Structure 1
Amino acid sequence: MNKHVFISYSHEDKYFANRIAEDLMKNGIEVWFDKWEIQVGDSLIEKIFSEGLSNSDYFLILLSKDSINSKWVKEELNNAIIRRMEGVTKLIPLLTESIEIPQPLKALKWLDMYSNYDKGLRSLINTIYNISEKPPVGKIPEHIVSLRNSVGGLSRQASTIGSLLIFKQEEEPGFERSYSASELHSLIEFMNNEEFNDAIDELEEYGLVKTLKVFGMHPYDFGQVNGTYALYLHFKNELKYDPENDIKSVAAVVSEKKEIDGNKLHSMLNIPPVRLNYAVAYLEDYGYVKVLKFLGTHPYDFGIVTATRHTRQFVDEHCK
């Protein structure tokens, strides 16, 4: 069964919208495009809201300087947001130029269609057909083929998994990795289920990982797992950087600027987002900063970090 999409755009973006509509049709996707659907004498409102939006699986909104000020686009967007809340329609913002994302859409994943149109179109088609762009799990690293020695008093099994989580994260330093139980276990198949579950439980008991429990986990005791800042501090001798220096650097900048967001921290320190997340989480957990969290801050786990008396005391004691 073909997927159905609705394209919302301003008149000034009609050529861009026409191009996207034609390319989607060529790939087996049914497009409701006003140029094709509305005939002379038709009711514009009835056609758009009763036929176009109500029958669409996906609502594509072309974002440009013109469209964000378009009355019709706003009306269509409001309707689509209601349908999204009802679980009927999925909303996908498409950027046709570099602009500030409107507030109602900041929490959504958007696609860049202007920097590389072909790449953006491929991602859009994959999204509509629910095709994951996630690469397949690679082979087991050569250094993880058997149990390693204890690290910091952990069991050999927990040390092995902790080391593996560190190693895989260092391969992709920009964003935090999370693993399903089966995915992680496939990388260390020499452990049986009981050993694997016990090792994860041990790591979680010491705060080195966080797990998510979901239905259908058997034979595992958890569904998803990812490391915490404590894991990196525990295994810091295996890292190419010192996570304690990240913590000190972030604290110093927060103390100087009084309050700051993730993008500004990144531009000042040039530390990858995942490491900034760990440093801020450490400072928050130990009461050294105040953190305001809200939607639309990806890839950061925080919105605004604010300095306190404890921040300044930390900097005085550890950063001078």
Structure 2
Amino acid sequence: MAGLTFNGKPFNPKDFEETMLRAVRDKVAAQVQASVGAIRDPDNGEFPTVVTSIDEEGNIVVRIEGSPTVLAVVERRLAKAGEEEEEEDVSGKAEVEPLVPKVFLSYGGEDRELAERIARALMDAGIDTWWAGWSIGAGDSLPQKINEGLGDCTHFVVLLTRTSVMKPWVKHEIDAGLMRRISAQARFIPLRHKLPADELPPLLRPLMSPAVDDPPSDIQQLINDIHGIVRKPVLGKPPAAKMGPLHEEYSAAANTVAKVFVERSETALFTDPEISLEELIAVTGLTRDDVVDAAHELREVLNESSSIGQDSYYPTEEMFVRFDGKFGEWNPAHDALRLATDLVNDGAFPAAVEAIAERYGWSARRLNPALAYLMNRKLIDARSGIGHAPWAAAWVQKTDTTRRFARSRT
């Protein structure tokens, strides 16, 4: 069977695809680094760092890291750049004003004074209100003006009293308002004044009908409803999980799954360890769906392997970069900064990773996440070698990026 070749050399299509993806990832990282990496916090001199990865679906994921202050500077710079790029597109175009709610206020003649107070309170609250007292002038056609008001309204409000519910004209306007509600063109709001809810016309009884007695003091909720201001209170924070501090970017289930990999890994290297779906369910106490969804949430740092009759998961090195600080005895970001600083400041600092581990007294389990932090963010020059396991690299060397990272973070 003939093999596949590229430039005259045999190649594996899967390896070729992975190589191309990594090449694209590196190109994206270089482009982001060029635009973002040069941004500097003017107060403390810190530069941001850029980390790229490829998730299990082949998507390139870019993360920008740094202190809250430098990230705020980056956000402002990128927002400004985006505004400048859009200036040409938006020039000459009319500005889109926010939608102003429009109310058609229906009422009986005997309730004119109360209706005017309601109409003025709505206008004062930023709600454009059609009220006959100012919407119909001398010589105007009544049906035409009413139809115009009904056709433009986003909210049909009818003031219902014991007298107005009997008025034929009010009934006609209610019919028109209900038709707009049925066609999803307007909301229908029955507003009761000294009228019990059980005395409403049968078609209106299923609708929420607020009562009003002394506007404008008692129609604030009506105003809020028209403006779409919800009554539901802001959702508070859930109780802290028993497992301790969580990684705030992930759900409790994802933290639980990540913690298993952090505690079981011996080297913090790619695929260490590989754990079956069934074992994760048993160890975490989560349901199958919860584990599968947690793995999907962690897809930037956790890969899935499927074989006949069994699914399993294995981590990337970035898993330990992100979660060791939460569930381990050390913080890879802090260790990485120490390593970068020593590379920059100590001319006699060893390049061999094994010698670095001996100097610090660190195991591979601790040093590798620090190396992965620096390598994934292109902050050092790292090289592999034959038999360099259990280390993430054989030797490392500082670059100008290492210097900028070390100096800006210290």
TM-score class, shorter-chain normalisation, is: 0.3 to 0.5
TM score, norm. by length of structure 1: 0.44
